[in-house]
Amino acid sequence: MAAITTQEFEHHFKSLYKPLCLFALRYTDQVDDAEDIVQQAFADVWDKNRAGNVIGNLKAYLYQAVRNRSLSFTSQPVNAEATEQLPDVEDTSEEEDILRSERDARLWDAIDRLPPERKKIFLLSKRDGLKYQEIAEELNLSVKTVENQMSKALKALRETAIRVYMFFFG
């Protein structure tokens, strides 16, 4: 097997970056740390590629590298106060974590594709926990508009969730 081209590397980066970040986030609980770990894993792959080392299954290699880096990161010595803030790691298999990360990435992509105002309303509700009345007041909209936009957002995301489910399990 030959070394990967720049275009192939870019394709892998674009398709795997977000799922790998979500995978690392399960360990680190910090977005910046997860992104640093994934970026370093890709940099290492590129260095290996330039040195002539061939990686047979790049996706599997990257998930293992990100897992190992994440575990190393979370096992670094910390002070007693920081220990209380360490994330609880669920007892799931690595394969389940990978599937969940890829699924989550597809759903976030679907959220990103919502029209801007609908996305803002959806995130204020689901991410920030605001009630429809609070969203309406904050955005200077009627409650009915917020309800309609949420309904449309949820419908679009349900359709995406069905496609994601069929992709993985269908």
Q: Hey, what domains does the chain have and what are their CATH numbers?
A: 1-76+89-104 (no CATH), 113-169 (1.10.10.10)
Q: Chain centroid to CA 79: how far?
A: 28
Name the nearest CA neighbour of 20 among 65, 56, 76, 74.
Answer: 65
State how far the Cα of 90 lies from the Cα of 14, in Å rounded to an integer.
Answer: 27
DSSP annotation of 98 reads H
Average confidence (pLDDT) over 144-163: 84
Say what the pLDDT of residue 146 is. Answer: 92
51-55, 92-96, 152-156: which has the minimum mean pLDDT?
92-96
Average confidence (pLDDT) over 2-31: 85
Say what the pLDDT of residue 15 is. Answer: 86
pLDDT reading at 142 higher than 80: yes
The CB density around residue 63, as the number of other CB atoms within 10 Å, is: 23
Say what the pLDDT of residue 164 is. Answer: 58
Average confidence (pLDDT) over 53-80: 80
Q: pTM for the whole thing?
A: 0.55
Say what the pLDDT of residue 40 is. Answer: 92
Better-predicted residue by pLDDT, 143 or 160: 143
Question: pLDDT confidence of 127, banded at 50, 70, 90?
Answer: confident
Better-predicted residue by pLDDT, 28 or 170: 28
Q: Chain centroid to CA 142: how far?
A: 33
Token look-up 């990161």 returns 73
pLDDT reading at 106 higher than 80: no
**Rounded percentage of the chain residues whose pLDDT exceeds 90:** 16
Mean confidence (pLDDT) of the chain: 80
Token look-up 């990103």 returns 112
State how far the Cα of 94 lies from the Cα of 146, in Å rounded to an integer.
Answer: 39
Q: Are 62 and 41 in contact (CB under 8 A)?
A: yes
Residue type, 116: P
Measured in degrees and rounded to the nearest 5, phi and psi for residue 157 equal -70, -35
Q: Are 26 and 46 in contact (CB under 8 A)?
A: no
State how far the Cα of 69 lies from the Cα of 42, in Å rounded to an integer.
Answer: 12
Say what the pLDDT of residue 139 is. Answer: 92
Say what the pLDDT of residue 80 is. Answer: 46
